[in-house]
Amino acid sequence: MSVECFEDLYKCLQWRSRRGMLELDVLLEPFTRDLFCSLSAEDQGAYARLLECEDPDLFNWFMTDQRPREPELARMVDKVLQSSCYADPA
């Protein structure tokens, strides 16, 4: 992927991480800003797909024990939660 394409994708994902739901914004915006660029290409793609999901689904996945059926999306939910300052240290 060219630098220009990556920058466009990054800007798009920054915008899409602003969900308008505080519970999601405090998880997704910092993850996109601080960690997206360090993800593998595979994880970057999975994260982009995660942000295509509906807010109620994202809310359930991040705020309950529910996880997406797709393993890649479930892995990304766990990565976002682990990166959060709200993560359970257990």
The gap between the terminal CA atoms of the chain, to the nearest Å, is 38
| Model confidence, pTM | 0.85
What residue ranges do the domains of the chain occupy?
3-83
pLDDT at residue 51 in the model: 97
The fraction of the chain above a pLDDT of 70, given in percent, is 88
Q: Over the chain, what is the mean pLDDT?
A: 89
pLDDT band at 5 (very low <50, low <70, confident <90, very high): low
Q: Which of left, alpha, beta for 63 (phi over 0: left; psi -120 to 50: alpha)?
A: alpha
pLDDT band at 10 (very low <50, low <70, confident <90, very high): confident
| Architecture (CATH level 2) of domain 3-83 | Orthogonal Bundle (1.10)
